Amino acid sequence: DPIPVLTIDGPSGSGKGTISRLVAQRLGWHYLDSGALYRAVGVAAGWADLDLDDAGALVRCTFDTDIGFRESAEGDLRVLVNGHDATDELRTETAGAAASAIAAIPEVRAALKDRQRAFRRAPGLVADGRDMGTVIFPDAPFKVFLTASAAERADRRYKQLKDKGVSVTMDGLLREILARDARDASRTVAPLRPAEGAVHIDTTGLGIDAVVERVLAVVAP
């Protein structure tokens, strides 16, 4: 039998990252954070001082960038970009914005396809992203589409940033989220949309544990 994959797609702020990690832990499956690959290329492009409008240079940068994942002694996942631990830099707004620009280049997406598929190893894989169920693992037996209202996603982001001491307004965040949604859904290559047969889970007002249970129920009903 092919190695099973659970794809978890959805917009940023839907809780995908947290939920996917926990579900992978519960199942004892591998975990792919596909956004981290785009962010890693974004960070490498920044280090090389590349112009985000220079598609050719960004495509070459994608091929040249070595991206590794490693579990730290504390058990959290670290991301190595060309051998350097870039985990914290990956989470910055700058890396996110670069990732989103880079992710719109078809050749970049194509270049990262096999690297993503290589994560499919026994006993199974939880794959988190925007196009896991539609493009990367269309044959996955289990597919989830996670959403949350824009207001709730802005609220979660607000709390995260406040904890980090970053000052932002709810209004600005909400506008940013709506703009990012529109961009991710309207791009011509791999737009964000639910895969056929994906189970939709709206996480608005749900706690993490409740969402984890609902997602696990998709794999073992």
Interface ranges with ligand C5P (CB under 6 A): 12, 34-35, 38-39, 96, 99-100, 103, 129-131, 184
CA distance 208 to 168: 24
CA distance 193 to 35: 16
**In the complex, residue closest to ligand C5P by CB:** 35
CB of 83 to ligand C5P, least distance (A): 21
Torsions phi, psi of 99, nearest 5?
Answer: -60, -45
Looking at beta carbons only, is 73 or 186 nearer to ligand C5P? 186
User: Binding site: residue ranges?
Assistant: 10-18
- Output the smallest distance, CB 2 to ligand C5P, in A: 21
Report in angstroms the alpha-carbon separations of 27 from 11, 31, 120, 127, 219: 23, 10, 14, 13, 9
Question: Least Å distance between CB 168 and ligand C5P?
Answer: 17
> At residue 33, what is the residue type?
D
208 or 217, CB closer to ligand C5P?
Answer: 208
Q: Which is nearer to ligand C5P, 103 or 212 (CB)?
A: 103
Q: Which residue ranges are tagged as binding site for ATP?
A: 10-18
Cα distance between residue 193 and residue 175, in whole Å? 20
Under DSSP, the state recorded for 195 is P
Q: Minimum Å distance from CB 34 to ligand C5P?
A: 4
Nearer of residues 99 and 211 to ligand C5P, judged by Cβ? 99
- The residue among 94 and 217 lying less far from ligand C5P, judged by its C-beta, is 94
- Give the DSSP per-residue string, 70-90: EE-TTS-EEEEETTEE-HHHH
Closest approach of ligand C5P to the CB of residue 205, in Å? 22
CA angle 168, 173, 176 (to 5 degrees): 135
Element (H, E) at 184: helix 170-186
